[in-house]
Structure 1
Amino acid sequence: MATDRYLKIFKDVIDHHIGKNDFDAALKMITSKLEVDTGDDDVRFYVSQLDKVLKAQPESNSMESAEKIVLDALMRLAYAWVETGEFERALKLTQVDLLHMGNALLEIRLYIFTRQDNTTEMARIIRKLYNEKISLRCPETHYILGNSFLRIDKVDLALQYFEKGVELVDKEDDEELFKRLTNSIKGIKSAKNAAELVKEEEENKRKEKLAREKQNQVKKALDGESGEEDGPASDLGSDKVDDEEPPGELLALSGSNGIQSGGGTGSEKRGILVVRYLMKPSLELRSHSKRKILNIWSFPLYIIWMIRSARTMIGNC
């Protein structure tokens, strides 16, 4: 623990830097002291000096740089105490009053509660940071929020936090955090690519199914048109052979029953009956292809019957 005399000299040096507008030198001097393990009273003193420097520094673009220097110093101190299990001591560090640094101290508290596994306080701070659109300065905070949103399946939002964390992290200064952030990004992108492949495969299967259904519909329509050309649809419903006996006139003309008739007019009539009978489908087939095969043989059979019938009619005349 520093003596009162040392702290007074330190304060005078800081005031000297502020008087010369050398704010960076003052901040570096303070943060270097914070990086050394000191007592709680010393920490409160150094933090008060930080606040004094921030208040003395005019509003300019360098203010953001100064706040980052302060935040980095406080984060390193909090990290060191958390690693040794001194959570309460680290939390006290975030209870100081720093100009414009309230939200930054929230990030330190979030880190401490995360390591402490205090999910209630974690959720409260995350809601505040997200709902109020607070600009985050620590890459560790981006990693914590990314994991939090990943656990509730908000993948795209988690990816945004991880990628922003990679932009902020110093690869050489914190290589371990850099690896955690980049591995998280790779994991999300790999999972998204796998999901896209599954989705694409399902879409291809759906298209193939629709194509098959359409092809079957076209085939059924074509089969129906062919059935109408060959005969009634009922003719395709059975493979049974028609047991109907030929009419007596046909048997007489063919000479199969020994009946003979005379008369030219009667011969013409019998010839017409033969033609009509032979033109009727003799079989009822289920298969359309079988019907076509049968039709191929119908014409030669018809010619044979016509020759035999003609001979019979000539003999009767």
Structure 2
Amino acid sequence: MLELTWPWCLLLLPLPLLMRFLPKATPKEDALWWNSTAQLMQYQDKAITTKRPPNQAICLFVAWVLLILAIAQPIWLGEPTKVTPSGRDLLIALDLSGSMQVSDMVLNDQPANRLDTAKSVLADFIQARRGDRVGIIVFGTKAYLQAPLSFDTDTINQLVQEAQIGFAGEQTAIGDAIGLGIKRLEDKPSDKKVLILMTDGANTAGRVQPEQAAAFAQAQNVRIHTIGMGAESMVVQSFFGAKVVNPSSDLDETLLRNIAAQTGGEYFRAKSTEDLQAIYQTLDALEPTPTEDVWQRPLTSLFHWLGLAALLFVALSALISKPINWQRGKHQ
């Protein structure tokens, strides 16, 4: 089914025809000087025998019609599809602070940093959330809404993959991330609000303290599941040789446990990629709340195709725009 976003633009279609009825411009009556009579006769012969091909006018008119149709923003509505929502709104708060670039994880048998590992696992988790509305919050020094709650899990997943370390600053504002999540969930039914918080550090920035945010989340019936990321040991090279360090020494597990316990959620510890995958399998097993089915129709914009077709007809008119001399039987 075809629909026009701005159908009133079609009123511009007859504009080229209406211009034919405009009064013609009055030519200037300046004198023309010719060096010789032969030059004047040659000019007159050329003016009489030269004729513009009618195909050029046709191409330009078709290009005009296509351009107006493109401006009207035609949209093709696909077949309706049924989505059965679970009734759950899931917000995922993803840490983008500088410590997420520590490469203490293994992904596809290759060393990987924490953010790449989180994005890989989140891709499978989000795709499995058909029927849930999923949104993404990213946080560092500040917290931002990367993607609002939506059934479009493909777009949500794409936005997750585009997130990069440092987008929100180098520090970690856990309290602000929770506060933003509460704000985005405040108008939702009380039994359907879930926030999943992923971080590898402690609260080092932000205007809201995590304990205050957790108390407000409890009052708003927002359930928060917290995930602490990072391995417990890692071999690093130093001036004195290789040594084993704890790359997760900054992780505030006590805070994350308290936030989860206060809001009715659970705390999970992800020391490896396998741990993180198992955690999201556990979260995926949460019982859904059945609601009414939602019908969706995919939208496909035809603007760029019509615009390209109009450009092609303009180019075609330019190719045939040379006047034809019918006496000589060839282009001049």
TM-score of the pair, normalised by structure 1: 0.22
Structure with a larger share of its residues in strand: 2
- Name the larger-Rg structure: 1
TM-score of the pair, normalised by structure 2: 0.22
Structure with a larger share of its residues in helix: 1
